[in-house]
Amino acid sequence: MNPMAQTNLRAANRQQGAVLVVGLIMLVVITLFVISLIKTSSIELKIGGASHIEALNFSNAELALNNFISLNNGQFAPTFLSIPLGTPGAPLACSLANCASAPPLVYGGSVTVTPIQLACGQWFAYGQQMGGVNLQAVQFDVNATATGTLGGSTTLHTGVQTLAAPGSC
């Protein structure tokens, strides 16, 4: 046998399996990389889902607040909340089903709207305009708590101030 052929044969014998070992190491590294990406993407999906649920609850609460104020426009007065339900001038309740003037743009859940009278007293805002110091003002905090069917709840508050006739408070 030729001495050159013997050298090539010995070199080939020494390299048997090297490609296999390098290939397996690269396969393990790529597998670990893919597992890391899967964990990261599942966490991002959870964050995105929670953000979506919060946005739905916020939309429900905002819709209910706006429609409650629209339904009761002009009725906010010092005795507004003490009028028994069902009598003229009483607060009109607002749930998600009857708050929407059109079909709701959001999905599922329930909304509770709660008005609370904060204060009633002298109106000091703008001097002599609109009757000046004789007018009184009543302030309400109207809050809506939306609870989604998928979980979570969001509470929104808005303030309403109405001018009242002198001596109303």
Q: What does the pLDDT read at residue 27?
A: 95
State both tokens at 161. 């101030």
Q: Which pLDDT band, with edges at 50, 70 and 90, does 80 fall under?
A: confident
Q: What does the pLDDT read at residue 157?
A: 92
- Neighbouring CB atoms inside 10 A of 72's CB total 21
C-alpha 99/C-alpha 67 separation (Å) is 5
* pLDDT tens digits for range 122-157: 877 655 555 555 778 888 898 888 888 888 888 999
Q: Does residue 161 contact residue 138 with C-beta atoms inside 8 Å?
A: yes
- For residues 80 and 138, which has the higher predicted lDDT (pLDDT)? 138
Give percent above pLDDT 70 in the chain. 71
Instruction: Quote the radius of gyration of the chain (alpha carbons, Å).
Output: 35
Lowest mean pLDDT among 15-24, 117-126, 153-162: 117-126
Distances 98 to 28, 102, 165 between C-alpha atoms, Å: 59, 9, 32
Q: Note the residue count of the chain.
A: 169
State both tokens at 27. 């396969």
Using CB atoms within 10 Å of the CB of residue 29, give its burial: 0 to 12 exposed, 13 to 18 middle, 19+ buried: exposed
* pLDDT tens digits for range 91-124: 776 554 455 444 444 567 788 888 888 888 887 7
The DSSP secondary structure of the chain, one letter per residue, reads: --HHHHHHHHHHHHTTTHHHHHHHHHHHHHHHHHHHHHHHHHHHHHHHHHHHHHHHHHHHHHHHHHHHHHHTTTT--TTGGGSPTTSTTSPPP--HHHH-SSS-SS-S-EEEEEEEEEEEEE--SSTTGGGGGG-EEEEEEEEEEEE-TTS-EEEEEEEEEEEE-TT--
